[in-house]
Structure 1
Amino acid sequence: MISSPPAFWKDKLQASGLHFSLSVLVAALSALLVFVLWYPYPYREISGGRELFLLVVTVDVIMGPLITLAIFDRRKPWAELRRDLFVVVLLQLSALGYGLWTVAMARPVHMVFEIDRFRIVHAIDIPDELLSKTPEGITARPYTGPTLLGLRPFKDGQEEMDATFAALQGVNLGARPDLWQSFDASRQDVLRIAKPVGQLRQRFPDQSAAIDAALAGKGAAADAAQYLPLAGRKDFWTVMVDGRNGDILGFLPLDSF
């Protein structure tokens, strides 16, 4: 049996290592886009962005260099080797592009105050047929990170009934552009519904340290803090707000419904 010369495997490993390093760099740049812009904290936790991104990127980063390891051979004609490497990179970038598109479609776009709670609304949650009814000044599916919104009062009983039936069919009130209004217009409703953080401490005495940590550095706002439940894609969290003006103070991975 004739073994391959050491240089043969050295070239393969060097090519694969270079490909891996470049893949990690591209993945790091993609992570900045995803976790700084699309899924900032706490949305990466609530909306599952971290798991989805890591799945996409891990497969992409590992498979590309492994394929390069398998096909790289300096004994091939340069034109053939260049073509093979081009195809590998093209397939890898296409897979990464599709993965990022999937992550983008699932991205959180708004945190909406919805009657007695906050709700995370994702791009895919918003019905296409309602996009034309988005209020002026609001971007229905922003790419610049989630925004704060509220729900306007129902115009009449019929509109409330229609919206309720739609919610039963899976279209949450917070995902309806025709019901959105600015968060400033909903601040008084937030303050009316929110409960004192002291009640949260009484309900969850073992979470007092976590509550203190979430409010750390908030100064006088911490003394007036209130809370509301937050409905995410798969989990329920808690939002703490300033009891004086409704500003968002912090988040807790705590189901306070």
Structure 2
Amino acid sequence: MIKAKLKAASIHLLMSAVVVGCFLAFALTVWYPEPFFNISGLANIILLLVTVDVILGPLLTLVVFKPKKSTLKLDLSVIALIQVAALGYGMHTIYQAHPLYIAYSGDRFTAINANEVDPATAKYPELRQSTFATPTLVYVEKPSDPAELSRVLMETLSGKPDLDARPEYYQPIGQHAATILAGGIPQEKIRHTPENQQKLSDFLQKHGKTASDYAFIPLIGREDDVLWAWSHATAKPVGVLAINPWTLH
């Protein structure tokens, strides 16, 4: 009996781990490439998904499994339904909350989730992303017409999305690299405390060069705000410093 229980629970565990593992591998590779998962605030959803589908499901199978039990199929069906419901909830939440655009506006990048924008409204065809796509870097161009800008501001005050969540104002980021790199936070502010000094030193030890070779730009996430380091040489992001930019003086 014990061997049968362990075999059934092991098979259940293997199947659950494969399904959840494949989904999480896809989500973390495509929807949440580094550093976006760390600032997304989805750790609790991942924990729920793993707990119910990979741990609780097989444990329940271990408890209820008896080869000749008359209600075995019903018991296993109920367990499977609970797992499917948890998996569906987790997948939907993770999909809805994944950043579809990383929008630079003013002096910062903001992660804009898939459920916050309509990619079809983007002015540039290359920015009309599928909602299943990996995050795309964009530059937010404010309206040059004062009347239009005033209208957008009034709409924002009434509850509509701000400029950084309006794809019609998005532009490809490449042509604005110089503006973005010029807007970083000075390293003197980062070095203001010993803790931040150490984080900067660790970053430079890992990535090389000097602090002057990078622009440190605020990156706003759902859970955390960090400094996103961009290389002046390549005009591309390199890594993050776990420093809240709004605490720097």
Instruction: Confirm or deny a common fold (TM above 0.5).
Output: yes
Shift of 1:123: 0.9
User: What secondary structure is seen at the aligned counterpart in 1 of 2:151?
Assistant: helix
Question: For 2:143, which of 142, 154, 175 is the aligned residue?
Answer: 154
Query: Which region of structure 1 is more displaced relative to structure 2, 55-64 or 116-125?
Result: 55-64
Amino acid at match of 1:48: G
2:22 paired with 1:32: no
Q: Write the distance in 2 (CA, Å) between the matches of 1:239 and 1:170.
A: 28
Shift of 1:73: 2.0
2:91 paired with 1:100: yes
Q: Write the distance in 2 (CA, Å) between the matches of 1:225 and 1:204.
A: 19
Aligned sequence identity (%): 30
For 1:119, the equivalent position in structure 2 comes to 110
Asked if the contact 1:221–1:243 (Cα under 8 Å) also holds between the matched residues in 2, the reply is no
Shift of 1:100: 0.8
1:20–1:191 distance in 2 versus 1, CA, 3 Å: closer
Matches within 5 A, 1:186-201: 186-201=176-191
Q: Please, which runs of 5 or more residues in structure 1 have no aligned partner?
A: 1-6
1:174–1:57 distance in 2 versus 1, CA, 3 Å: same
Amino acid at match of 2:172: S
Shift of 1:177: 0.7
Amino acid at match of 1:121: I
Amino acid at match of 2:147: Q
Question: For 1:224, which of 213, 220, 235 is the aligned residue?
Answer: 213
User: What secondary structure is seen at the aligned counterpart in 2 of 1:137?
Assistant: helix
2:138 paired with 1:145: no
Shift of 1:32: 0.8
For 2:51, the equivalent position in structure 1 comes to 58
Taking structure 1 as the reference length, what is the TM-score of the superposition? 0.81
Asked if the contact 1:134–1:140 (Cα under 8 Å) also holds between the matched residues in 2, the reply is no
1:26–1:96 distance in 2 versus 1, CA, 3 Å: same
Shift of 1:10: 3.9
Q: Write the distance in 1 (CA, Å) between the matches of 2:45 and 2:152.
A: 31
Asked if the contact 1:112–1:174 (Cα under 8 Å) also holds between the matched residues in 2, the reply is yes
Asked if the contact 2:182–2:215 (Cα under 8 Å) also holds between the matched residues in 1, the reply is no
Q: Rg larger in 1 or in 2?
A: 1
Shift of 1:196: 3.3
For 2:153, the equivalent position in structure 1 comes to 164
Taking structure 2 as the reference length, what is the TM-score of the superposition? 0.83
